[in-house]
Structure 1
């Protein structure tokens, strides 16, 4: 089990938890959607997974074998290297080209050999069908191309988990579908994908495990999400 939350509370600020009594689990290769209205706690759940929000209480709160309630700050960088994070607004460095964006991440995570770095960058750009974009700057790329580069960045260190916060939110439907197809392919290699989304059409076309954030809690609605959303 890569992630196992049992009856945990997730806090943003203040004394009241954003989400209470959270039961949430992720295994290798799973493709998980997090759905719910704006402000329902989707992003808070994701941020807790990469240690930007605090978790309190609960019976279990493990991420990649670590109890994150007792995780020391100095151990967080090593654990984050086993994750990839993708954002809605891409968050590429605008002052450098694609190659240097990816090079920056590899150097920051301990890669030293230039041949190894160049080889890995070439591999991930090929994986996301962007092999000819290495020397392009972010502003020279379309939204879909920027998101593919963001995915390339996320898989550089062969993560066990990819966390994607509304990765298709700024994309047209056709481009959004191509991004989901790419993430689905990555999940088939054993990397778990956890993705928040408002795009319900994607869930119909590319099924996965579905969790609904609602009323300060979260529920596995994989079998019944269509009915629940129609009642909203």
Structure 2
């Protein structure tokens, strides 16, 4: 089990965002979080990588760490075992694609130039962007930038990819291609947890579905959406 929450609760500014959260994620699963804006999807995702604290929980384990007890100095190590993808890409716009990826690898402890270059080539090939190495982000389309963001998330061979509305700024065709790419990543054993408003994708790319609604999190069947 990669993530296991039992009866967890999230508060922000003394307001209960989600209560009695029961959530599980195992190896190679493709998991959707759906719900209205403000329903708690992003808040839940942020607790997985300790950007936001849980307030209480019977059990809260992420990648073998009890995150209610984790020390701040150990959070970077936890995050290195994850890939995090955002709606707005968060690429460094003054650097080429290569230098965006190089920056992450150096920051996470990679030292050998040959190994760095090989890994960059591998992730760019995995997302179909081998020709973009020397491009600046603004020279790429939104879909291409999101592919680079996915490549960045793959660099350290994560056990879990957390994607917060990764298709929110994309046209329908590009969005479908991005979800197909993320779904394909699960075949390597990596788990993908994705928040989305793009409900038609749930039929095209089936997975486990959780709904955030009225401060609760419920696992649902696709047919009940």
The TM-score, its normalising length taken from structure 2, stands at 0.98
Equivalent positions of 1:126-145 (< 5 A) are 126-145=125-144
Aligned to 2:100: 101
More displaced, 72-81 or 15-24?
A: 15-24
SS of corresponding position for 2:210? strand
Runs (4+) of structure 1 exceeding 4 A deviation are: none
- The answer on whether the counterparts of 1:208 and 1:222 sit within 8 Å (CA) in structure 2 is no
Distance in 2 separating the partners of 1:225 and 1:187: 24
Matched, 1:3 2:6: no
Aligned to 1:198: 197
Distance in 1 separating the partners of 2:61 and 2:21: 13
Equivalent positions of 1:107-186 (< 5 A) are 107-186=106-185
Aligned to 1:229: none
- The answer on whether the counterparts of 1:210 and 1:225 sit within 8 Å (CA) in structure 2 is no
Distance in 2 separating the partners of 1:145 and 1:11: 36
- TM-aligned CA deviation for residue 223 of structure 1: 4.8
Unpaired stretches in structure 2, ≥5 consecutive residues = none
SS of corresponding position for 1:188? helix
Unpaired stretches in structure 1, ≥5 consecutive residues = 227-232
The TM-score, its normalising length taken from structure 1, stands at 0.95
- TM-aligned CA deviation for residue 122 of structure 1: 0.5
Aligned to 1:230: none
- TM-aligned CA deviation for residue 181 of structure 1: 0.8
SS of corresponding position for 1:54? coil
- The answer on whether the counterparts of 2:2 and 2:27 sit within 8 Å (CA) in structure 1 is yes
Aligned to 2:36: 37
- TM-aligned CA deviation for residue 225 of structure 1: 3.0
Aligned length: 225
